Amino acid sequence: MEIIYATSNAVKFEIATTVLRETNMTLKQSNIDVPEIQSMKVEDIARFSSIWARDKLGSSVIVTDVGLYINALNGFPGPFVKFANYWLTAEDVIKLLEDKEDRTVYIKECLAFCEIDSEPLIFQKQIKGTITKEIRSENGSLMDKLVIPENDSLLLDIPSNEFISFWVKHSAFNPFKEWIQTGKTFDKC
């Protein structure tokens, strides 16, 4: 079974194909530029984007979206990580948290699988963690510089040979894979 994964991100595509390696599902990458609605919920964004991509491509599709939710900042930046990366530095976020005791955060990935004639099915995965108090590198994204996942080290400190494995373990493609392996059929693909 071949499904289109609407993403231009090569790393996301590698993670997805790694998770689905032992299934009958084959992903085909589409670099289509998928619009994102304004919403505080990644699942709403993924749902809308998957319907849009399905209609545009005329095929069943998968779309993913990720949010970074900092508890002390009422969930900011949430699904607006891309914009936060553009407007803020990691130092700016740490300054916003300097008087806050709660440094908990979670990264939420949402996968929307949208068949040709159906509403999207939503699969989610979360990584809980904390926000660091100091920046140790100029490299990486906001998330890489700030997040320390539970029972792990700073995302930025994950060795390059373990990077893909870490994200494979925490990918929303895992609950999707479990759903596939329960014997679900894709009549409309």
188 domain residue, yes or no: no
38 domain residue, yes or no: yes
Question: What's the mean pLDDT in 60-85?
Answer: 95
Catalytic residue among 65, 117, 152, 187: 65
pLDDT in tens, 161-181: 888 899 999 999 999 999 988
Q: How many domains does the chain have?
A: 1
Q: Is cis: bond before 159, omega within 30 of 0?
A: no
pLDDT at 187 (0 to 100): 44
Question: What's the mean pLDDT in 127-131?
Answer: 95
What's the burial of 96, exposed, middle or buried (CB within 10 Å: 0-12/13-18/19+)? Answer: middle
- Rounded to whole angstroms, the Cα distance separating 153 from 93 reads 19
pLDDT at 153 (0 to 100): 77
pLDDT at 185 (0 to 100): 54
Identify each DSSP E strand in 31-171 by its residue range: 61-70, 77-78, 104-114, 121-131, 147-149
56 domain residue, yes or no: yes
Would you say 54 and 61 are in contact if contact means Cβ atoms under 8 Å apart? yes
Does 187 qualify as catalytic in the annotation?
no
Question: What's the mean pLDDT in 130-159?
Answer: 86
Per-residue pLDDT at 189 exceeds 80:
no
187 domain residue, yes or no: no
pLDDT in tens, 101-114: 999 999 999 999 99
186 domain residue, yes or no: no
Helix axes 173-181, 10-19, angle to 10 degrees: 30
Query: Which residues constitute the domain of residue 120?
Result: 2-181
- Domain containing 25 — which CATH number? 3.90.950.10
70 domain residue, yes or no: yes
pLDDT at 138 (0 to 100): 80
Identify each DSSP E strand in 42-157 by its residue range: 61-70, 77-78, 104-114, 121-131, 147-149
Token look-up 């090569």 returns: 10
26 domain residue, yes or no: yes
Q: Among 24-38, 42-56, 133-147, whose mean pLDDT is lowest?
A: 133-147
